[in-house]
Amino acid sequence: MPLLLKNNSYATDDWVHLSDDDALSQHATVSMKRFGSTEDARNTIKGVRIAPDDNPLDLVDFLVHLKLLVIEFPAFTDGRGYSHARTLRQQLNHTGEIRATGDIRAEQIAFMRRCGIDTFELNRVFDNDQVLLMSQPYPHSYQPSYMQ
């Protein structure tokens, strides 16, 4: 899956996203539910996926060990992940990489960045027109930004 970076270029994603039954491995993420319920997971895993109905505050004691947080957006109209990102940046002072995954539309990228999301796992590469719009941010905003 194409991974969109800060400068709007693409990279390949080398993280493995494990289901709740897959064997644990190092450069991998698990669901927050699995992370919270298995000590093994907490000792091995360096990446956690946060579902819309999860509470990012549950990660407070573990953030320092985690290399990647992935916020899930199962539907582009489900805006819970924006609050998760802001809570992680603002309340938990997290400075590590936060990635968005799921149904992400081009015009949402700028908003997600301002909530503190760094990278984006997309279903497909955006086409040129969409990238054009995306790379022209608003001249200013009325709210503070949590872009890292």
Partner 1 sequence: MYQYTDHDRAFVQHRVEEFREQVKQFNNGKIDEDEFKQLRLRNGLYQQRHAHMLRVAIPYGVLSSRQLRQLAYIADKYDKGYGHFTTRQNIQYNWPELNDVPDILQDLAEVDMHAIQTSGNCIRNTTTDPLAGAVADEIEDPRPWCELIRQWSTLHPEFNWLPRKFKIAVTGSINDRAAVQVHDIGLRLTRNEHSELGFEVLVGGGLGRTPMIGSIVNAFLPAQHLLTYLNAILRVYNRLGRRDNLYKARIKILVNAMGIDAFKDAVDTEWNASKHHDDTFTTADIELLKAQFSNDLPTANTESSTETTHLNDADVPKQIHSNPFFNQWFKSNTREHKLSGRRIVFVSLKSSDAPAGDASATQMRAIADLADVYSFGEIRTTHEQNLVLPHVAMSQLYHLWSALKQNQLATANIGKLSDMIVCPGLDFCSLANAGTISIYDQINQRFDDIDYQHELGNISIKISGCMNACGHHHVGDIGILGVEKNGAEWYQLTLGGHAGNKAAIGSRLGKAIAKAQVADAVERILQTYLAHRDEAETFHDTVTRIGVDPFKENVYAAAA
Contact 92, 73 (CB under 8 A): no
Least distance in Å: CB of 133 to partner 1? Answer: 6
Contact 82, 93 (CB under 8 A): no
By the rule CB under 8 A, 125 interacts with partner 1: no
Query: Site for partner 1 (CB under 8 A): which residue of 65, 76, 95, 125?
Result: 76
Least distance in Å: CB of 131 to partner 1? Answer: 11
Bin 116: left if φ > 0, else alpha if -120 < ψ < 50, else beta. Answer: left
Distance from C-alpha of 30 to C-alpha of 78, rounded to nearest angstrom: 21
Residues that bind partner 1 (rule: CB under 8 A) add up to a total of: 33
Contact 26, 32 (CB under 8 A): no
Phi and psi at 69, nearest 5°, equal -115, 135
Looking at the Cβ atoms of 43 and 142, the one nearer to partner 1 is 142
Query: Site for partner 1 (CB under 8 A): which residue of 11, 65, 105, 125?
Result: 105
Residues that bind partner 1 (CB under 8 A): 52, 76-80, 82-83, 86-87, 90-91, 105, 107, 110-112, 114-115, 127, 129-130, 132-133, 136, 138-145
